[in-house]
Structure 1
Amino acid sequence: MLFAFLCTDKPGHLNVRMETRPTHLEHLNKLNAEGTLKFAGPFLDDEGKPNGSLVVVEATDMAAARTLAEADPYYLAGLFEKVEVKAWNWTINKPE
């Protein structure tokens, strides 16, 4: 089952995002190599600066998805004000 992580950065925490980014990308690349990560990327504000994240993973259930969300270095660094984890059904333009 697919799960979407809708992550909102805390205001004024761009420095935390930038300092943690290499570790975050390493983490996502590991999930990608395992086949767990489906896609990911930052949300952008009106100035084009990152202010949140969208991450979609495959997990067995909500508990496993939450565990993955909470293992993200951004989460561990306290970057996020809010993280929503939602089951998601990819229906349009899904890769074969």
Structure 2
Amino acid sequence: MLYVAILTIVDQELNTKFRPAHLSYLNDLYKQGKVVMAGPFTDKRGGMVIYKAESPEEARLLAEADPVVKEGARTLELREWSPLEFPLT
């Protein structure tokens, strides 16, 4: 299943401090097949990560272990996602 994490910045100083660790964490998960894609929003108030996990619990563990979440730089909203298959019939 796929899970979308919306990561909203709540502490810019902490975000700047932990962003390198955040990117490294996501890169490692990508190599393991646990992150499908990720990136910042153009308004610079946060970003989104799409996780691939076997359960909501696994997705939550992955998302909560992200350094920017763990250190309080960003809030986490996690939702299961079911993308449409195109073309629609």
1:2 and 2:9 are equivalent in the alignment: no
User: TM (normalized to structure 1)?
Assistant: 0.81
| 2:22 pairs with 1:29 | no
Compute the displacement of 1:91 (Å).
2.0
Unaligned runs of 5+ in 2: none
Give the 3-state SS of the residue equivalent to 1:44 in structure 2: coil
- The answer to whether structure 1 residue 89 and structure 2 residue 82 are counterparts is yes
The one-letter code sitting in structure 2 at the alignment partner of 1:83 is L
The alpha carbon displacement at 1:43 in A equals 1.9
User: CA 1:69–1:92 in structure 2 vs 1: closer, same or farther (change >3 Å)?
Assistant: same
Q: Which 4+ stretches in 1 moved above 4 angstroms?
A: none
Contact residue 23 and residue 73 of structure 1 kept, 8 A: yes
Cα displacement (A) at 1:92: 5.3
**Aligned sequence identity (%):** 35
2:70 aligns with: 76
Per-residue CA deviations over 1:4-48 (Å, capped at 9, x if unaligned) read 0012221xx222111111111110110010011001011232xxx
Aligned CA RMSD, in angstroms, stands at 1.4
Question: Which 5+ residue runs of structure 1 have no aligned equivalent?
Answer: none
2:9 is aligned with what amino acid? D
Q: Aligned equivalents of 2:37 and 2:65: distance in 1?
A: 17
Q: Specify the code of the residue in structure 2 equivalent to 1:30.
A: D
Q: What number of residue pairs does the alignment pair up? A: 86
**Relative to structure 1, is the Cα distance of residues 92 and 17 closer, same or farther in structure 2, using a 3 angstrom cutoff?**
farther
Q: Compute the TM-score of the two structures, normalised by the length of structure 2.
A: 0.87
d(CA) in 1 for partners of 2:55, 2:24: 24
